[in-house]
């Protein structure tokens, strides 16, 4: 009996020692990391990533996993979308991709190393590969057709259409990461830049008063540069609105194939006496396609290389260097305080036409055209009166009158606007009066600029 007890005690000691030894040598690494999990329906990927925390380590691993698939599937624009989907939902349904397991270890430098098991459905992966092959075949055919069309357009001197076709080919090539017969996306973009570089805009017979001119667009090649057919231009020039705010008016034109020299005449007659005329190759619709495709780097590059032609001009008016006597006459001063009118705006506008202005409110409107002995060249009179005042939540004022320009030397009125009116509202009667009278004045100035 004593012998049996001694054997049992020895076994107990042995088990205790063995357990203690095993606990020292236990490997915390999960079985799936070092042992391949075979499944004919899935492909397994083990991805490791190190970061400052578990969340960042997983995001890095997701990026690595998607990038690995991108090498074979060319995910293109979907790359970032698939990466974010894998981060947020642990899977990408379209690819049959899922994160099945993960394991983290904290290193001595307090960084976290994550090991992740990703699985991909062989069926979904196969379908994606087949779709990729079909896409490559279709895209290759489209690129070849577009490049061939661009070559044909270029031979026919239709450089703008050649440029547009090459941009279309560039977008397809870059979207699908395809190189066709050694023609890379960069090579296609380089050909676009070459077209712009060889384009020249020339301007002849420019008239500073009307801004009309002859325009020629050519390709700089050989002794006799050919005219570019169907050239698209964007022409901007200094102009002003009925409220006298300044802006650049822009017109877009297409030069007909039959015209070697195109006659440009601005549609907007409200141009400045002095300003700029800017001519550019119109790339708007083509660059918008690049912008929509997400290739802003290409947009900026092409914009920077676009051809342009700038003219700084100063025209002349009938008032250029002439002395002008200005009279502002209100027929109802009892209702309208004279200070409501912004006289500086009138004086500045006339001076912008080259006039030497004297403002005199003491004259009566009946004297217009009758100062034959005056040293002034012109006499300009604004006649204005209040015709209606409606008081309410918003006070409303209506004014009416006309603008007359008299040539003192000739002793006659050379311009009569005829009657016109202006309406404005305001929180008070004075603010409504201010708005109505100054709108009346602005209309008059607009007429002066249009006619002189």
Question: Do 348 and 426 fall into the same domain?
Answer: yes
pLDDT-based confidence at residue 76 (cuts at 50, 70, 90): low
Mutual orientation of helices 429-451 and 343-352 as an angle, nearest 10°? 10
Domain presence at residue 373: yes
Count structural domains, the chain. Answer: 3
Question: Do 49 and 92 fall into the same domain?
Answer: yes
Question: Do 442 and 336 fall into the same domain?
Answer: yes
Domain presence at residue 185: no
Domain presence at residue 29: no
Question: Do 305 and 327 fall into the same domain?
Answer: no
- 335 or 205, greater pLDDT: 205
Domain that holds residue 416: 323-451
Domain presence at residue 277: yes
Residue range 85-93: average pLDDT?
Answer: 87
Domain presence at residue 404: yes
Domain presence at residue 385: yes
Q: For 240-282, how does the pLDDT look when each residue is reduced to its tens digit (9 = 90+)?
A: 766 666 778 899 998 887 767 889 999 887 666 677 889 999 9
Question: Do 117 and 202 fall into the same domain?
Answer: no
The pLDDT assigned to 52 comes to 93
What is the average pLDDT score of the chain?
79
Residue range 377-401: average pLDDT?
Answer: 81
Task: Show which of 263, 292, 314 is a domain's final residue.
Answer: 314
- 9 or 119, greater pLDDT: 119
Domain presence at residue 163: no
Domain presence at residue 17: no
Question: Do 284 and 329 fall into the same domain?
Answer: no
Q: For 168-203, how does the pLDDT look when each residue is reduced to its tens digit (9 = 90+)?
A: 999 988 887 777 777 889 999 999 999 999 999 999
Question: Do 301 and 402 fall into the same domain?
Answer: no
Q: Domain of 223: which CATH number?
A: 2.60.40.10
């Amino acid at each position: 009996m004593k012998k049996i007890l001694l054997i049992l005690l020895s076994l107990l000691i042995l088990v205790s020692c063995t357990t203690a030894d095993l606990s020292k040598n236990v490997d915390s690494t999960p079985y799936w990391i070092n042992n391949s999990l075979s499944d004919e329906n899935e492909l397994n990927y083990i991805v490791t990533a190190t970061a400052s925390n578990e969340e960042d380590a997983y995001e890095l691993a997701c990026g690595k996993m998607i990038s690995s698939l991108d090498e074979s599937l060319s995910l293109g624009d979907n790359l970032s979308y698939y990466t974010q989907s894998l981060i947020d939902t642990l899977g990408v349904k379209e690819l049959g991709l899922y994160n099945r397991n993960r394991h983290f270890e904290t290193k001595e430098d307090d960084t976290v190393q994550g090991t992740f098991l990703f699985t991909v459905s062989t069926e979904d992966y196969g379908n994606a590969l087949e779709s990729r092959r079909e896409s490559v075949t279709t895209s290759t055919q489209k690129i070849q057709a577009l490049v061939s069309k661009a070559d044909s357009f270029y031979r026919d001197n239709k450089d703008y259409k050649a440029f547009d076709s090459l941009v279309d080919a560039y977008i397809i090539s870059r979207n699908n990461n395809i190189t066709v017969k050694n023609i890379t996306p960069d090579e296609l973009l380089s050909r676009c830049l070459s077209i712009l570089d060889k384009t020249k805009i020339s301007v002849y017979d420019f008239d500073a008063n009307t801004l009309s001119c002859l325009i020629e667009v050519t390709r700089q090649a050989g002794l006799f540069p050919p005219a570019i057919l169907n050239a698209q231009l964007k022409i901007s020039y200094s102009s002003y609105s009925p409220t006298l705010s300044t802006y650049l008016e822009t017109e877009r034109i297409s030069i007909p194939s039959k015209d070697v020299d195109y006659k440009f005449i601005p549609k907007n007659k409200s141009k400045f006496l002095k300003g700029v005329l800017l001519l550019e190759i119109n790339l708007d619709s083509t660059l918008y396609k690049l912008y929509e495709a997400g290739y802003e780097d290409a947009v900026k590059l092409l914009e920077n290389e676009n051809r342009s032609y700038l003219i700084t001009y100063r025209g002349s008016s009938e008032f250029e260097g002439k002395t002008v006597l200005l009279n502002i006459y209100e027929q109802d001063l009892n209702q309208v305080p004279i200070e409501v009118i912004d006289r500086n705006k009138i004086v500045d506008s006339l001076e912008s036409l080259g006039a030497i202005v004297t403002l005199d409110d003491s004259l009566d409107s009946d004297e217009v055209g009758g100062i034959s002995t005056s040293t002034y060249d012109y006499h300009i009179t604004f006649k204005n009166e209040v015709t209606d005042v409606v008081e309410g939540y918003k006070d409303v004022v209506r004014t009416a009158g006309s603008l007359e320009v008299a040539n003192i030397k000739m002793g006659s009125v050379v311009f009569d606007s005829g009657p016109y009116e202006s309406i404005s509202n305001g929180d008070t009667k004075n603010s409504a009066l201010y708005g109505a009278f100054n709108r009346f004045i602005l209309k008059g100035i607009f007429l002066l600029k249009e006619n002189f």
